[in-house]
Structures are given as structure tokens and as C-alpha cells.
Amino acid sequence: MSAIKDAPLPGANVPIWGAYLRALQRRPLNTKIITSGVLFVLSQIMGQLISMGEVSQPWKVFVFGLWGFLLPVGAHPWQNFMQSHGPAHFMGKIPVDHFFWRVPILILFSFYNKMMDGARIPEAIAYTKKTNLPIQIAALKLWPVCNAINFALIPLPLRVLWQNFVLSFWTIYLALQMRERKPIKAA
């Protein structure tokens, strides 16, 4: 392990950050669940404000929040597993993480999202099959770089938080892309 990962987490004396670190130390999974849910709700609200000028889809805020609350239930043990049983060098962790975590979680998210939109299982499966390849290609552009930082520099207790921040900014980026493609209404 590197000296960075072995060092105590920085900022324990900073009021809000220090409280977060203490909560993370006492109840790591619960802290990650709450933090992730809040970040996903905020990113969906920001995304809607950017792309539509208002929060016009409260159901989507709920759907993303619920996903955010559920994601650490898998991400927390996965990150622990990768630390203790994954490849020793961070460059080896990137393809293992991508193939065994990122690919399946993106498939599951597409399916979940469509089901939460009210689709039936066959429709959600068809949608997931149809949209999966472009999502996986986009993920290949983003996640290897983010996970190089994650595995090389981010201390284990903060890795789920790091990935949730990346996902939050990714949601906002997608909203900006949608806004730029939106036709301008005539006055």
C-alpha cells in the first residue's frame, strides 16, 4: 500500500468534513448510503434545472435518490474486495473493476431506470439491450481515468464518495449536453 492510503484521512479538524470522517469511521456503510443518496438527489435536481430550467420531473429525483441510496450497498463491499483481493497494482485494478463492476452496474441501472419509468420487464430488457452499447462506450471514456485516480490516490474509505462525486458531475454534464441539443423556442 502507498503512504497516501495508509495515512489518516485529512481534514479531521475541519468542522463539517471532520464530522463526516467520524461518521464514516463509526458507520461506514450507513454514511456512504446517506451521502450517496443526497448526492444523487442533488445531481438530478441540478441536471433538471440546467436542462429544463425547473425541476419538472420529481419522480426522476426520487428514482435517482433511491438508486443513490442503494448503490453503496454493493459499492462499499466491492471497493473493500478490490482492496484486499484485487490486483496489487492500481493499473491492474482498472480493467477488473470495469469488467466486473462498471459493466454490470450500468446494465442494471438502465434496466432499473426503465422499470421505474413504468415499463414491463420485457420492455426494460429490450431498452437495456438497445441502449447498452453507447452507455458502455461512454463509460470507457470516463471510468478508466477516474478509477486510476480512485485506486492510486483515494484512500479506501473515501472511494465510494469519490465515485459518487464523479457520477454527480457526469449527470450534470449530461444535462448540459441535453440543453445544448434542445431547440430554442421562438419568442
Give the residue among 26, 24, 22, 6 at the shortest CA–CA distance from 14. 22
CA dist 155 and 174 (Å) reads: 28
CA dist 157 and 79 (Å) reads: 9
pTM: 0.84
Residue 68, classified by CB atoms within 10 Å of its CB into exposed (0-12), middle (13-18) or buried (19+), is buried
As a whole number, mean pLDDT of residues 49-63 equals 91
CA dist 95 and 143 (Å) reads: 10
Helices 103-116 and 58-85 sit at what angle, rounded to 10 degrees? 160
**Which grid coordinates belong to 107?**
446494465
pLDDT digits (tens, 9 = 90+) for 60-111: 999 999 999 999 999 999 999 999 999 999 999 999 999 999 999 999 998 9
CA dist 149 and 47 (Å) reads: 25
